[in-house]
Amino acid sequence: MKVGLKIWRYDSKSGDKALREYEMDAPEEATLLDCLDIVKDRQDGTLAYRKSCRMMICGSCGMRMDGGAVLACKTRMYDIAQAGHVPVISAMGNLPIVKDLVVDMDPFWAKIRAVDPYLKPGYDQAAERENVVSQKQMESIHKESLCIMCGCCVSECNSMESDPDFLGPAALAKGMRFVGDPRDGATVERLETYSEEHGLWDCTRCYFCQERCPKGVDPRDAIAKLGAEAMHNGIDRDMGAKHAKWFVTSAKTTGWLRETELVPKTQGVISSIKEMKFAMGLAVKGKVPPPFPPHVAADVHESRALFDLVKEQGRDGALGIVQGERALMHLAHDAGGTDGAYGKGGDYPVPYLPEIDKPEPKPEPKKESA
Amino acid sequence: MAETHDVLVIGAGCAGMRAAIEAFDKGANVGVVSKLHPTRSHSGAAEGGINAALGNTAEDSPETHAFDTVKGSDYLGDQDAIEIFTREAPGDIYQLEHWGAVFTRNEDGRLAQRPFGAAGSPRTVFAADITGHVLIHVLYEQLMKRVAQDASRMTVYEEYFAWRLVIEDGRCHGVISWDLLHGGLKFVGGGATILATGGAGRIYRTTTNAYACTGDGMAMALYAGLPLKDMEFMQFHPTTMYPTGILLTEGCRGEGAYLINKDGERFMARYAPNALELASRDVVSRSEQTEIDEGRGVNGSVFLDMRHLGAEKILDRLPGSRELSMVYAGIDPIYAPVPVRPGAHYHMGGVETDEWGRTELEGLYAAGENACVSVHGANRLGGNSLMETITFGRRSGQHAAEWALSQAAGADAAESHLADADRDLKTLLGRTNGERPWQIRDALGATMFENFGVFRREQQMLAAIDDVDALRERYASVIVDDKGDVFNNDLTQAIELGNAIDLAAAMLTAGVARKESRGAHSRPHDFPARDDENFMKHSIVRWQDGAPDLSYKEVRKTKWEPMERTY
């Protein structure tokens, strides 16, 4: 098939930047990575990008296609080529570009190191036997342990774009991998650290990390779990924590968000007084309701029931999500095909295989005794 | 001034990182050189699991594990090394668990163990089907922990392409590397040096291996005059997907998947009536190839059928394999069988070492796939390679640290070597008239795949030797497009190709001379049987005057006499 790519070339030494277009013949099963290989082999050996496993596990080939982070080896080109679309390929965001599609990952790893990414207390002697831990407990960190450190989430993180010191989705998901691990003995210490400035409460919940993660790690969910665990352990000094708590209280008591009380509950009274003039302005324009008497929603019992349900499920409610979830959704909605699981917002081309004759299933023979 | 360490580790996969951790814990100052960031190493792509006789799922013992391994090796494994290996494996697994490895559990909260090919008991510890991923990350975590403890004793040179060992006065002093990110040749010194660069599957066209698996360590050792052992034994994994060669784990069959031909027949019943799909890998690959050759395949493939396992088991135990099938074959294994065929997967051969990872050259060690201890002999059992990286990575790290700390520092011998390397590099970069590497690379992959695959014929092997010689000549005028300093992997890929050509020659030389069928080396047309009298011995290849030189070495036996091997 004919494939076209527009690639942002960049030379950090000269600072030269250029969008170059390439055309090639590629086999129908080709991925974006295969196409880059064709360019590098046959057209321009100076094109720089990282690659290794080509099977979605090493995390080398994170880059952007049409402005969104992808793993090049996971991105099949068939549908894109059929549509005649020529995608723009560029380096990942939020990290300095070294050359072409290669970014400097040092800032990424520095943040991973900042969450103390190893089990504490470390057991440095081989013990007699393994720790006994239930599978259910281990599943609570299943998604976080799928992370391949490709950087796609960090590339798309809006919060990091405005605050480069924000720990970011990959590091925080790594943090959750230890906070959720029953074998780790430093939960409170970790949650204290992760709750500091530039920490978990600086996430703006835009969910771009979750959308773009190629492995289903769901980093935003991990950050939510960290927040829940922090509050559970009484670590709620950060404004983000107070803000979240007031949301819950407000929704439970009135079924509404009581915005006038949100600011003092989040920022404290003194800081709120400074905002008084701004608040009055809003009130005059009818942007906020008068605080008294509190306006209670007619169906407030529904939001209270929801509150009780979440409370009853406790941490299992949030933690019980496993990787199979998306797959199970697919199973329920589309029992025959192969498209559904990857159809999320058109972020992946539908997998394609050159036509082969599939065998008719026959009754399976009984396995003889071994 | 060049950086120098007590222990220098080249490669940062499971073996390299495990060795580095052990050397650090024994008090050494450690340097790790790797052409990839450590977590990008191909150990992370291991799927199915890691073997240790814990006996958590059924009765098991290191003795049984050792026997299965000896039998699996087709009696070419060194039995003393295998006994050490199976005895120490359980302790190593417990340690990984205490470091935080996220293994799958049994009902009782102990480590779960699944059945694997040619294993007398379910002994493969696993983390769903991403066991290698879990291990590489837990080892990197431990590496980062040690950097946090004492950064002055643990330095990781990421994206340094190791090119040449510096050997003077019978000692290895370190390695000359190409700094990918910043450019330039850098010398990194080590009192002791451990090679842990992994396999060389990229010599073949269809392989499960990453682009990085180009046999750099084996080639560096070969050029330094060291012996490579059992190089003819390349394992062909039975279930690599059509058309990409990407691996579907043996764990699929461990969990109960069938292999069927185009008629839907479970053909393994005709080849291994007892073990069926869980016969050893060489046996299953030969069976598949026979089906395909006799016209019972489709597009050169048979099918891996998981439908009867049910959605729940597939999602629970094999989610990664399902995802790989969906992305790369467009098939959801819950509903349809996946086309698979044998593909180059694992090099049983490598740099000859003893059970402490020591090579012939004092102070130089090797561990993991680029080493040949040998525990795998002529055929490796699934799940034994991850275990080998850990157990022998640890042992070589320990020995290297103890040895290096007991030695006086070597002389600074790098200068003249750096000058030589620089001159050769300039020659390569300066060449403007010639051929780009990719056609040579593709031709090498094709000839090895067609002529040195599952079944081997004398004529084909000889033809492949001629092909490789011709490719070496073409390679002499290879040109590199990228003349720059920043992330110039055009250069490193050209160097890798040179290594691959000579390793292929070493493999073919040993293969033609082995006039028998043993393990992964199968010659059904002229030498269909195993010949213990003449060939129960390791092949040894050295590089002499630009060509491979072949000799043999006895297999070390303890208590198992060779028997007929059926499954």
Please answer yes or no on whether B298 and A46 come within 8 Å at the CB atom.
no
DSSP letters for B253-295: HHTT-EEE-TT---THHHH-TTTGGGS-HHHHHHHHHHHHHTT
**Among chain A residues, CA nearest to B181:** A98
In a domain, A355, yes or no: no
pLDDT score at A36: 98
Q: A331 to chain B: which residues are within 8 Å by CB?
A: 311, 334
| Optimal mutation site among B35, B97, B139, B391, interface A, most CBs of chain A within 10 A | B97
DSSP letters for B49-69: -EE----SSS---HHHHHHHH
ipTM above threshold 0.90: yes
Last residue of a domain, one of A303, A321, A339: A321
Number of Cβ pairs closer than 8 Å across A and B?
A: 243
Q: State how beta strands B364-366 and B185-195 pair.
A: parallel
pLDDT score at B427: 96
Please answer yes or no on whether B324 and A56 come within 8 Å at the CB atom.
yes
Q: Say whether both A176 and A229 belong to one domain.
A: yes
Please answer yes or no on whether A130 and B111 come within 8 Å at the CB atom.
yes
Q: Say whether both A118 and A98 belong to one domain.
A: no
| Chain A: closest CA distance from residue B336 (Å) | 8
Q: Which residues neighbour B320 within 8 Å (Cβ) at sequence distance 6 or greater?
A: A57, B47, B128, B129, B130, B249
Query: Number of folded domains in chain A?
Result: 2
pLDDT score at A292: 72
**Among chain A residues, CA nearest to B436:** A41
Q: Given A129, A146, A359, which is nearest B264 (Cβ)?
A: A359
CA A214 to chain centre: 9
* Residues of B marked as catalytic: 281
In a domain, A51, yes or no: yes
pLDDT score at A315: 57
Residue B271 region by backbone torsions, left for phi larger than 0, else alpha for psi between -120 and 50, else beta? alpha
Q: B298 to chain A: which residues are within 8 Å by CB?
A: 356-357, 359
pLDDT at A343 over 60: no
For residue A330, what pLDDT band results from cuts at 50, 70 and 90? Answer: very low
Last residue of a domain, one of A321, A338, A360: A321
Give B434-474 as a 3 state SS string.
Answer: CECHHHHHHHHHHHHHHHCCCECCHHHHHHHHHHHHHHHHH
pLDDT score at A260: 78
Please answer yes or no on whether B104 and A135 come within 8 Å at the CB atom.
yes
Q: Say whether both A207 and A161 belong to one domain.
A: yes
Question: Is the CB of A113 inside 8 Å of chain B's CB atoms?
Answer: yes
**Among chain B residues, CA nearest to A58:** B40
| Chain A: closest CA distance from residue B326 (Å) | 7
pLDDT in tens, A28-62: 999 999 999 999 999 999 999 999 999 999 999 99
Among candidates B454, B452, B472, which has minimal Cα distance to B463?
B452
Domains and CATH numbers, chain B: 238-343 (3.90.700.10), 414-537 (1.20.58.100)
**Among chain B residues, CA nearest to A183:** B100
What mean pLDDT is predicted for residues A71-79?
A: 95
Q: B130 to chain A: which residues are within 8 Å by CB?
A: 57, 146
Last residue of a domain, one of A284, A300, A321: A321
Q: Given B144, B327, B489, which is nearest A351 (Cβ)?
A: B327
Q: Say whether both A83 and A180 belong to one domain.
A: no
Q: Say whether both A201 and A117 belong to one domain.
A: yes
d(CA B50, CA B103): 10
Distances (CA, A) of A41 to A29, A77, A88, A90, B178: 18, 18, 20, 19, 21
Please answer yes or no on whether A123 and B99 come within 8 Å at the CB atom.
yes
pLDDT score at A282: 84
Asked if residues A259 and A288 have their Cβ atoms less than 8 Å apart, the reply is yes
Question: Is the CB of A338 inside 8 Å of chain B's CB atoms?
Answer: yes
Global pTM reads 0.92
Please answer yes or no on whether A116 and B489 come within 8 Å at the CB atom.
no
Please answer yes or no on whether B109 and A135 come within 8 Å at the CB atom.
yes
CATH of the domain at A75: 3.10.20.30
Q: Say whether both A93 and A156 belong to one domain.
A: no
| Chain B: closest CA distance from residue A268 (Å) | 38
d(CA B497, CA B478): 10
pLDDT score at A327: 36
For residue A313, what pLDDT band results from cuts at 50, 70 and 90? Answer: low
Question: Is the CB of A110 inside 8 Å of chain B's CB atoms?
Answer: no
pLDDT score at A24: 98
How many other β-carbons are positioned within 10 Å of the β-carbon of residue A67?
Answer: 10
What mean pLDDT is predicted for residues A172-196?
A: 95
d(CA B143, CA B413): 29
Please answer yes or no on whether A327 and B262 come within 8 Å at the CB atom.
no
Q: Which residue has the higher pLDDT, A14 or B21?
A: B21
pLDDT at A316 over 70: no
Q: Say whether both A177 and A282 belong to one domain.
A: yes
Q: Say whether both A75 and A220 belong to one domain.
A: no
Q: Which of A44-48, A77-81, A222-226, A313-317 has the lowest mean pLDDT?
A: A313-317
Q: Say whether both A70 and A179 belong to one domain.
A: no
Please answer yes or no on whether B98 and A130 come within 8 Å at the CB atom.
yes
Question: Is the CB of A105 inside 8 Å of chain B's CB atoms?
Answer: yes
Q: B99 to chain A: which residues are within 8 Å by CB?
A: 118-119, 122-123
Q: Which residues neighbour A153 within 8 Å (Cβ) at sequence distance 6 or greater?
A: A69, A168, A169, A170, A173, A208, A209, A210, A212, A213, A217, A219
Stretch 348-367 of chain A: residues touching chain B, C-beta under 8 Å = 350-354, 356-362, 364-365, 367
Q: Given B42, B331, B486, which is nearest A353 (Cβ)?
A: B331
Where are the strands (E) in B196-249, listed by range? 228-229, 234-241
Please answer yes or no on whether B264 and A360 come within 8 Å at the CB atom.
yes
For residue A346, what pLDDT band results from cuts at 50, 70 and 90? Answer: very low
| Chain A: closest CA distance from residue B21 (Å) | 11
CATH of the domain at A309: 1.10.1060.10
**Among chain B residues, CA nearest to A337:** B332
Please answer yes or no on whether A99 and B264 come within 8 Å at the CB atom.
no
Q: Say whether both A160 and A244 belong to one domain.
A: yes
pLDDT score at B297: 94
pLDDT score at A33: 98
In a domain, A336, yes or no: no
Please answer yes or no on whether A54 and B330 come within 8 Å at the CB atom.
no
Per the structure, the complete domain to which residue A53 belongs is given by 2-102
CB-count burial class (<10 Å; 0-12, 13-18, 19+) for B452: buried
Q: Given B210, B323, B332, which is nearest A54 (Cβ)?
A: B210
User: Three-state SS for A171?
Assistant: helix
Distances (CA, A) of B484 to B147, B195, B490: 32, 28, 10
**Helix, strand, coil share of chain B (percent; to 5):** 40, 20, 40
Distances (CA, A) of A338 to A32, A122, A216: 20, 43, 17
pLDDT in tens, A201-223: 999 989 899 989 999 899 998 99
Please answer yes or no on whether A29 and B328 come within 8 Å at the CB atom.
yes
In a domain, A16, yes or no: yes
Question: Is the CB of A278 inside 8 Å of chain B's CB atoms?
Answer: no
In a domain, A172, yes or no: yes
Asked if residues A139 and B315 have their Cβ atoms less than 8 Å apart, the reply is no
Q: Which residues neighbour B453 within 8 Å (Cβ) at sequence distance 6 or greater?
A: B236, B289, B342, B344
Answer positive or negative: Cα dihedral of B435, B439, B445, B446. negative
pLDDT score at A165: 97
pLDDT score at A362: 52
Q: Which residue has the higher pLDDT, B79 or A296?
A: B79
pLDDT score at A296: 85
d(CA A115, CA A168): 11
Q: A182 to chain B: which residues are within 8 Å by CB?
A: none
DSSP letters for B338-400: EEEEEEEEEES-EEE--TT-B-SSTTEEE-GGGEE-SSSTTSPPTTHHHHHHHHHHHHHHHHH
Stretch 150-209 of chain A: residues touching chain B, C-beta under 8 Å = 178, 181, 183-184
**Among chain A residues, CA nearest to B481:** A45
Please answer yes or no on whether B100 and A183 come within 8 Å at the CB atom.
yes
Question: Is the CB of A12 inside 8 Å of chain B's CB atoms?
Answer: yes
d(CA A23, CA A35): 9
In a domain, A22, yes or no: yes
What mean pLDDT is predicted for residues A342-364?
A: 42
| Chain B: closest CA distance from residue A328 (Å) | 8
d(CA B356, CA B148): 28
pLDDT in tens for each of the 567 residues of chain B? 468 999 999 999 999 999 999 999 999 999 999 999 999 999 999 999 999 999 999 999 999 999 999 999 999 999 999 999 999 999 999 999 999 999 999 999 999 999 999 999 999 999 999 999 999 999 999 999 999 999 999 999 999 999 999 999 899 999 999 999 999 999 999 999 999 999 999 999 999 999 999 999 999 999 999 999 999 999 999 999 999 999 999 999 999 999 999 999 999 999 999 999 999 999 999 999 999 999 999 999 999 999 999 998 998 899 999 999 999 998 999 999 999 999 999 999 999 999 999 999 999 999 999 999 999 999 999 999 999 999 999 999 999 999 999 998 766 778 899 999 999 999 999 999 999 999 999 999 999 999 999 999 999 999 999 999 999 999 999 999 999 999 999 999 999 999 999 999 999 999 999 999 999 999 999 999 999 999 999 999 999 999 999 999 999 999 999 999 999
Question: Is the CB of A342 inside 8 Å of chain B's CB atoms?
Answer: yes
Q: Say whether both A180 and A271 belong to one domain.
A: yes
Please answer yes or no on whether A11 and B212 come within 8 Å at the CB atom.
no
d(CA A17, CA A347): 27
- Which amino acid makes up residue B124? T
Q: Say whether both A284 and A142 belong to one domain.
A: yes
Asked if residues A154 and A94 have their Cβ atoms less than 8 Å apart, the reply is yes
Q: Which of A80-94, A269-283, A284-298 has the lowest mean pLDDT?
A: A284-298
Please answer yes or no on whether B92 and A359 come within 8 Å at the CB atom.
no
Among candidates B214, B234, B292, B232, which has minimal Cα distance to B461?
B232
In a domain, A335, yes or no: no
In a domain, A21, yes or no: yes
Q: Given B134, B212, B274, which is nearest A370 (Cβ)?
A: B274
Q: Given A29, A127, A328, which is nearest B94 (Cβ)?
A: A127
Please answer yes or no on whether A52 and B42 come within 8 Å at the CB atom.
yes
d(CA B227, CA B358): 12
Question: Is the CB of A326 inside 8 Å of chain B's CB atoms?
Answer: no
Q: Given B25, B97, B334, which is nearest A131 (Cβ)?
A: B97
| Chain A: closest CA distance from residue B315 (Å) | 6
Report H helices in A94-157: 106-114, 135-139, 152-156
How many angstroms separate the most distant Cα atoms in chain B? 68
